[in-house]
Structure 1
Amino acid sequence: MSGVRPGTRHYTLVCSSCGTRYEDDGLVLDCSRRHEPAFLRTEYERTGTRVGESTGLFRHAPLLPVAQTFPEVPGPVVHRAERLGRRIGLDRLWVAFNGYWPERGAQLPTCTFKDLEAYTVLGRLPAEPPVLVIPSAGNTAAAFAWAATRHRVPCLLVVPAPALERMRFPAPLDPCVRLVVLDGPATYSDAIACADLLARLPGHHAEGGCRNVGRRDGLGTVMLAAAEALGRLPDTYVQAVGSGTGAIGAHEAARRVRADGEPLPRLLMCQNTPFAPLYDAWRGAALAPAHREHEPLARELTNRRPPFSLRGGVRDVLAESGGAIRCTDNESALAAMALFEEVEGIDIEPGAGVALAALAEAVRAGRVRRDELVLLNITGGGRARQARDLALVPAEPWLRVPWPDRDTGPLTVTAQVERLLTGAVAGAEGR
């Protein structure tokens, strides 16, 4: 790893259920006591909006669970979007843009806010980390692949085949980053199932997803950057969600930096019909059929196992913030993507289009007032612009697995990966 900052950890992990406190080793994901499922959360030595002297993501290092930082990692860019606000009926709309937009100073390398979580998770790791195993629908894998390549951190990434379109980088991936691609009709849920088994291999460790405090606090820097730009917290925070990790992280960050008596931002989480597990859980409805996981425009939002009911999860942060979940369809999301590019001059990702469309619908329905101070998290954008500006190299899979055939399943994928790893170790020892 490069850019190492020595020093002791400046935070403690606390269980949201029982309050047990832990010193972090960079890999802890869960409370060891027996009780209801619950998130660990971070408690920092410092609070408030005070920031470090650096720029970018690690400007917020005092409120990040990291033992080391990396140089030249961009952060969120927050700006007022008056013209866009007028088009959807808001007087005080601000945008947190997470992507590639040079004129605004936005330079996230893989064009989504997943870069924020990737570098924070890597900064949390111990000096000699195991191989992190990470399932992804695309954006998370891209972020970890490039961050781990830049700083030579071993990762095993598991993605369904459509995710490969997101895996384009300024240079080839480092050999320490291994990409397993599930071909055929495999979904994000299949990638998660495979990753759960691969994480049990010797020398491997589950990255943890929403259970990793590095992910939530890294994504929470969107709220920290907004509070700094606005001089206060927004009234309403709007974000498209798959697992809800980013919205939970924003809520946790707001709790840390709010002034005495200042209300928490109301969370407006947005999902993409016809596959909206969080919306279904919030309404108490049955989960959408599995085949619908293929149908939303925003595939990055298709998480069948979101942390809704566990302590500190989506249900709790919605209740504490007085928030809500809204759904919008593919047609509305496409129209919102076109509107943002027309007004702001930059392309945005489908998930961001879902958030903008749902916000516009909430305004029309009277669920968001015209005079509210609203922060819209554009979770990804500028991918088309980046492709015009930079020569990008498609990633080469380490293993491609047909899915499904008569014998293929998570266990078969695990066996193939184990065989390849054994061969790679034997080859290295023979040299």
Structure 2
Amino acid sequence: MSGVRPGTRHYTVVCSSCGARYEDDGLLLDCDRPHEPAFLRTDYNRTGTRTGESAGLFRHASLLPVTRTFPDVPGPVVHAAERLGRRIGLDRLWIAFNGYWPEREAYLPTCTFKDLEAYTVLGRLPAEPPVLVIPSAGNTAAAFAWAATRHQVPCLLVVPAPALERMRFPAPLDPRVRIVVLDGTATYSDAIACADLLSAFPGHHAEGGSRNVGRRDGLGTVMLAAADALGRLPETYVQAVGSGTGAIGAHEAARRLRTEGEAPPRLLMCQNAPFAPLYDAWRCTGAAPADPAPRLDRDRDRAPHFDRDREHEPLARELTNRRPPFTVRGGVRDVLTESGGDVLCTDNVAALDAMALFEEVEGIDIEPGAGVALAALAEAARAGRVRRDELVLLNITGGGRARQARDLPLIPAAPWLRVPWPGRDEGPRAVAELVARQLTGLTAVTEAAR
């Protein structure tokens, strides 16, 4: 555990709005002072990207908000992609691959960069944590389910039914890891609404999503690994986004690494039409100082990009976050503005073509979100929005799932509870009541056994 002493914290937490500083308890999500919504961020006691470990996520432990590390946790794999770059018109394209690809020594257990955030969040927790409540479209739930199983951390995961396709593991899940599946037409946004209610249960705590510094800094290790491989920061960073948490984390990591006078990498965030809330919000407001939140709230249920049916249409359903942190201080709008970035958008056909291109050229399958990012980058290069000689880092946020299924015997996850989705209006509360009855029954059984 180089660079981290168990039980100690080598960082403080700082409010992006008022600058208030906090000693972290492993669960802190928000500043308690009255002001605009604002992210907390971490302030570390040292600089540099490594701690001395030879490989893996926790080689960066000194720039992660953790009090303990876990052995044998892989990290991103960064390599030059000359052939792929030539195919899309770029001379200096680099890939940060997050997934399963044995030939590249990439072994993320659930095949996406969500593994990076899961182990960082768990490493941040206090010694006796509450039950973490986590909504997910699939990838985040898979990452937390397996990490929490390996290290016996209680979690309650809330997912729409299609998410189960991505939840296959080398062994059964720990009984303390419980999956609530919303059947029927429930979406990722519905899972988020349910999790908001479930996190208020006694002994439960919201994991926090983008508000959790562990998530953002864990995902930011993609930028740390790239800086190690490149010997510098890239000029442009490209990633598919739902909430934008990973891109924010990459920006925060770059801000810690850059030298005086060095510009941060330009962020290109990519979304999947026809459901692209961040793309639409950025196009409506750009870097203008006016807060677009009222417009987004007012139009959420009638504007085309917020149409409920359209949330089912994107190929990359992991990108369908209905409430991304756009206007939060330190959130998407701020990091786009600071980096001179932009939000791109592409469609399902282009994403499928990009997935096929990557497998043809690189020899490994990639996830739909990664296909969205590659397709949007290729379109931007053709349009001259990215220079041919630009040093570009493309985050392949997930890949190798088909290869892993061929190589390893995997077991489908068994849901703890399946709930018929009664509809958007009454759904979250009905789910919360059903889960509460199940938890009450478990408590009664446990007390009777004692």
Q: TM-score under structure 1 normalisation?
A: 0.98
Q: Does 1:161 align with 2:179?
A: no
Give the counterpart of 1:382 among 393, 400, 413. Answer: 400
Q: Is the 8 A contact 2:41 2:213 kept in 1?
A: yes
Q: How many residues align?
A: 428
Q: Aligned partner of 2:432: which letter?
A: T
Aligned to 2:28: 28
Report deviation, 1:260. 2.2
Q: Aligned partner of 2:343: which letter?
A: I
Q: Aligned partner of 1:51: which letter?
A: T
Q: Does 1:129 align with 2:129?
A: yes
Listed one character per residue, the Cα deviations across residues 48-73 of structure 1 (whole Å, up to 9, x for unaligned) are 33433252000000000001110000
Q: Aligned partner of 1:8: which letter?
A: T
Aligned to 2:340: 322
What pairs with 1:239-318 in structure 2 (closer than 5 Å)?
A: 239-284=239-284, 287=303, 288=305, 289-318=307-336
Q: Per the alignment, do residues 394 and 136 of structure 1 end up closer, same or farther by CA in structure 2, a change over 3 Å counting?
A: same
Q: Secondary structure at the match of 2:158?
A: strand
CA distance in 1, matches of 2:347, 2:262: 34
Unmatched runs of 5 consecutive residues or more in structure 1: none
Aligned to 1:412: 430
Report deviation, 1:405. 5.8
CA distance in 1, matches of 2:258, 2:157: 36
Q: Is the 8 A contact 2:135 2:158 kept in 1?
A: yes
Q: Is the 8 A contact 1:52 1:62 kept in 2?
A: no
Aligned to 1:353: 371
Listed one character per residue, the Cα deviations across residues 46-105 of structure 1 (whole Å, up to 9, x for unaligned) are 113343325200000000000111000000000000000000000000000000001101
What pairs with 1:152-231 in structure 2 (closer than 5 Å)?
A: 152-231=152-231
Q: Does 1:397 align with 2:415?
A: yes
Q: Is the 8 A contact 2:190 2:424 kept in 1?
A: no
Report deviation, 1:284. 1.2
Q: Does 1:99 align with 2:113?
A: no
Report deviation, 1:407. 9.4
Report deviation, 1:6. 1.6
Report deviation, 1:373. 0.4
Listed one character per residue, the Cα deviations across residues 180-209 of structure 1 (whole Å, up to 9, x for unaligned) are 000000000000000000000000000000
Segments of 4+ in structure 1 off by > 4 A? 405-408
CA distance in 2, matches of 1:111, 1:323: 27
CA distance in 2, matches of 1:159, 1:267: 29
The Cα RMSD (Å) is 1.3
Report deviation, 1:7. 4.1
333-342 or 417-426: bigger deviation? 417-426
Q: Per the alignment, do residues 352 and 153 of structure 1 end up closer, same or farther by CA in structure 2, a change over 3 Å counting?
A: same
Q: Secondary structure at the match of 2:47?
A: coil
Q: Secondary structure at the match of 1:35?
A: coil
Aligned to 1:338: 356
CA distance in 1, matches of 2:147, 2:431: 25
Q: Secondary structure at the match of 2:33?
A: coil
CA distance in 2, matches of 1:411, 1:11: 38
Aligned to 2:80: 80
Q: Secondary structure at the match of 2:42?
A: strand
Paired-residue identity, %? 84
